[in-house]
Structure 1
Amino acid sequence: MTSRRGFLKAGGLALFGISLAGGIPGFLAEAAASDKIYAPYKKKKTMVCIFQRGAMDGLMAVTPFTDEYLKAARPTLFMSAAKGGTTKPLIDLDGRFGLHPSMSAFEPLFREGRLGIVHGIGSPNNTRSHFDAQDYMESGTPFNKGTSSGWLNRAVGLLGHDAATTPFQAVSLTSAMPRSFYGDNPSVAISNLQDFAIQMRGNPAGANMAAKSFEDLYGQASTGLLKQTGKESFDAVKLLQKNDTKNYKPANGAVYPATSLGNSLKQIAQLIKMNVGLEVAFTESGGWDTHFNQGTENGIFARNVNDLSNCMVAFWTDLGQYQDDVTVMSMTEFGRTVHQNGTGGTDHGRASCNFILGNDVNGGKVHGEMKPLSVDNLEDGRDLAVTTDFRSVFSEVADKHLKISNDRVLFPDWNGTQIGVMKA
């Protein structure tokens, strides 16, 4: 007999267009009214992951400003921490690394020890293809394209309890299910809480099934399996229907940027504070592929890092009393070249940096190893070398925050060590 989880993976049921902003459709309201409304779930620890798609220039986000090789390699892109000039200086973190001035919102959290940074992080696979590098990072198997599951889906399976206890245990605030959530353990992709949509990836037969309307699917279902899947969707609708998601007011004076990332993190905050059992959340930020006119204190890069930092800080402020239960981690598929190119930008490189925010983070430090950026220390003579495997950091955050301890399942074929980015 096919298991329910196996069906969800292979069958690919997808539910679209359940609007909550203007009231839910009659057939859903009737079904919801006929069943018991769930009480709030027990408050859970939550790990939130933000994928910066396009490859962030970690050397500009967190600059080793004392490195003369970097200064020579970037005649128009290098930024200094020296004050008194005509441009905004980097924010000196420790005498060696400087935070981009557009990320000033991060400084207080870094000084408080809540924000940690890992530099020289990346994949052991040296591909510079966006698609391949993202796929490897989200699957967690950088040398195996055939891995069917994503590392966050495997993390859900290692939490030690049945994911079916809540439809919101693993949620991606994206328009489609990310590669990180592929697998046997149930997860949902919600593009907007006011325009509720669920997508579950599957095979071509599942795609055909998804093309049918939800009402048709539920009405024609003759098996208990489909009816149970429908019931779980009703449960999700009921949980949201009890809360005024449209008129949500962030707490503690938090102001989210009116951007895609800001909107996604605001909705993740809503789900956390609704106590619906959210344990793993995912969202993404685009536009990090800065081949042209990257800029310094102004420009596309400055706008992107400003949005990232302001969104994360607004989210953190909004959480208030929930801060002890939440850790936020960013990731990007690779970094950029040490040398700038001829069009005022940087090309595909290797290592970058990432940011981890939480009360259980060993913050106030720039973790990782970075040698002087002379040509003989660069990977392939051009790139910041990967000195920290991304799995070292991802596993440590998941292990320490979510109490996951089976790294052989979480990251198959990896037997490395963690670097101390989380408190013991």
Structure 2
Amino acid sequence: MKRRQFLQAMAASSLPLISGRLFAASDATLQTQPRLLFVFLRGGYDAASLLVPTSSSFYSEVRPNIGLARSGNDANSVIGLSTDWGLHPALRDSIYPLYTKGQAAFIPFAGTDDLSRSHFETQDSIELGQPLQGHRDLGNGFLNRLATVLNKDSRNIAAMSFTDQLPIIMQGSLQIPNTAVKNVGKPAVDSRQSQLIASMYQGKPLAKQVDEGFATRDEVNNQMNAMQAEDKSREMNEANRNAISTKGFGLEARRIGKLMQTKYALGFVDVGGWDTHVNQGNANGQLATKFSELGKGLAAFADEMGDAWNNTTVVVVSEFGRTFRENGNRGTDHGHGSVYWILGGGIHGGQVVGEQVAVEQKTLFQNRDFPVLNEYRATLGGLFARIYGLSPKQLDYVFAGVKGRDLGLV
């Protein structure tokens, strides 16, 4: 194999899987471990369509085309959660049942103080989880720091990024594997190439990590191949009952659930396509379709976790929200404050939590956006501290200079 071919194979083979077995927990240990899945919605989703401020008459005034009916009993009306908030109707059969069981909660006015309104800058800023001022370590993400703290504490937490490339949030001193489960079963490097690459490292410092990386990839492939027949059978049965589809994100989420139920306690996945500048829609349309697919996928993940769902927490975030007013193209533009989702079988859900304010023109940030009242590092820090029992020193390692804010969800 020529050097160029070798480098191309290395780039395509998800070789960040190296050392994926070093922190694998035993079956007995994993059963009692908290699980955390972090879901990043890339593109800045319209949080004011997900969680509609039903007590705000201003909402209907500035969203004449994309606004949802704030009251009513038809399928296109928002689902009332409280006197102030309603949920997008596309989530009626997926997330709303979790909410009624106390397994879903929402945090409005959440986000970062980053004001760039740039997808890339704000995504990077959130994934780093570092102060905006001063020096920043661009290869040191906060989930890697969390995993580092937990493994220094002898908790033996196995982490995995379910992505094509290792995202910033998972980069750092701890080697964390990555693999996109949608591509499982179709490795870019076949067994012959894998053996050739491994032989090139024999007797060298990285030999063990490379061998473990390929072994981890093979384990994931074997598990997912075994699921494919089950997926086909399940899809045929569920289609007749109008239940959750296993296509698209639903299938990917089930695969992630299977892996986190049996092997990994800390996971990351990102979902793109949330930049809705044009023809966003309201109860129907492109955004409603995305909400429906995402909700079904997350509900599928919860179902696949089985009993482990009771000690699992899912956090859903985006880099920022969108403008509260619709634009001239019946869409929305880059905004500021967002809404975070917290799901899990053991959380104190069924509520909208965090600091809040009445949604009026005078309370908008820069006369255009939801303000950020629940800063993401303090919010996530308080959540992580409760899930893992982190000490102030450990939390400071994850989010330097931040005092965690406990919203009582765990």
What aligned pairs does 1:220-235 form with structure 2 within 5 A after superposition?
220-235=200-215
On the 8 A contact 1:120/1:352 being kept in 2, the answer is yes
CA distance in 2 between counterparts of 1:263 and 1:420 reads: 32
1:355-366 → structure 2 map (5 Å cutoff)? 355-366=341-352
Q: Distance in 2 between matches of 1:370 and 1:333?
A: 19
Counterparts of 1:324 and 1:75 in 2: how far apart (Å)? 41
What is the CA-CA distance between 1:196 and the residue it aligns to?
A: 4.6
User: Closer, same or farther in 2 for the Cα pair 1:157/1:39, shift >3 Å?
Assistant: closer
Q: Quote the residue 2:151 is aligned against.
A: 160
Distance 2:163 2:178 in 1: 6
What is the match of residue 9 of structure 1? Answer: none
Q: Taking structure 1 as reference, are residues 41 and 242 closer, same or farther at Cα in structure 2, changes over 3 Å only?
A: farther
Q: Does 1:148 align with 2:153?
A: no
Partners of 2:260 and 2:267 within 8 A in 1: no
Partner-residue secondary structure (3-state), 1:247 = helix
For residue 31 of structure 1, what is the aligned residue in structure 2? none
Amino acid aligned to 1:158: V
1:174/1:191 contact within 8 Å kept: yes
Instruction: Work out the number of aligned pairs and report it.
Output: 373
**Using the alignment, how far apart are the partners of 1:396 and 1:307 within structure 2?**
29
Counterpart among 116, 127, 130 of residue 127 in structure 1: 116
Conserved? CA contact 1:56–1:288, under 8 Å: yes
1:335 lines up with 2:324 in the alignment: no
Q: 1:272-330: CA deviations, max 9, x gaps?
A: 23x32x12101111111111101001111101111111111111122221112311110
CA distance in 2, matches of 1:402, 1:248: 34
Say whether residues 1:280 and 2:280 are aligned partners: no
Q: CA RMSD in A?
A: 3.0
Structure 1 residues 342-361: aligned runs within 5 Å: 342-361=328-347
Partner of 2:43: 54
**C-alpha separation between the residues in 1 aligned to 2:70 and 2:374?**
26
In 2, Cα distance between equivalents of 1:335 and 1:234: 39
1:74 aligns with 2:63: yes
1:65 aligns with 2:54: yes
2:399 corresponds to: 411
Deviations 1:207-235 (A, max 9, x none): xxxxxx54443212254422111231244
TM-score by length of 1: 0.80
Does structure 1 residue 99 correspond to structure 2 residue 81? no
Where 1:195 maps in the other structure, the secondary structure is coil
Q: Are 1:247 and 2:215 counterparts?
A: no
Superposed, 1:24-39 pairs within 5 Å as none
Equivalent in 29, 34, 49 of residue 42 of structure 1: 29
SS at 1:282 equivalent: strand
Structure 2: stretches of 5+ with no match in the other structure: 1-8, 15-24
Whether 1:236 aligns to 2:224 is no
Contact 2:201 2:210 in 1 (8 A): no
Aligned residue type for 2:210: G
Q: 1:124 to 1:237 in 2, by over 3 A?
A: closer
Structure 1 residues not aligned, in runs of 5+: 1-12, 19-37, 199-212
Partners of 2:154 and 2:174 lie apart in 1 by 7
2:6 aligned partner = none
Out of 270, 278, 299, the position equivalent to 1:292 is: 278
Contact 2:110 2:339 (8 Å CA) reproduced = yes
**One-letter identity of the residue aligned with 1:289:** D
Q: Which amino acid aligns with 2:104?
A: L
TM-score by length of 2: 0.83
The letter of the residue matching 1:57 is D
Q: Write the letter of the residue equivalent to 2:47.
A: G
Give 1:126 deviation, angstroms: 1.5
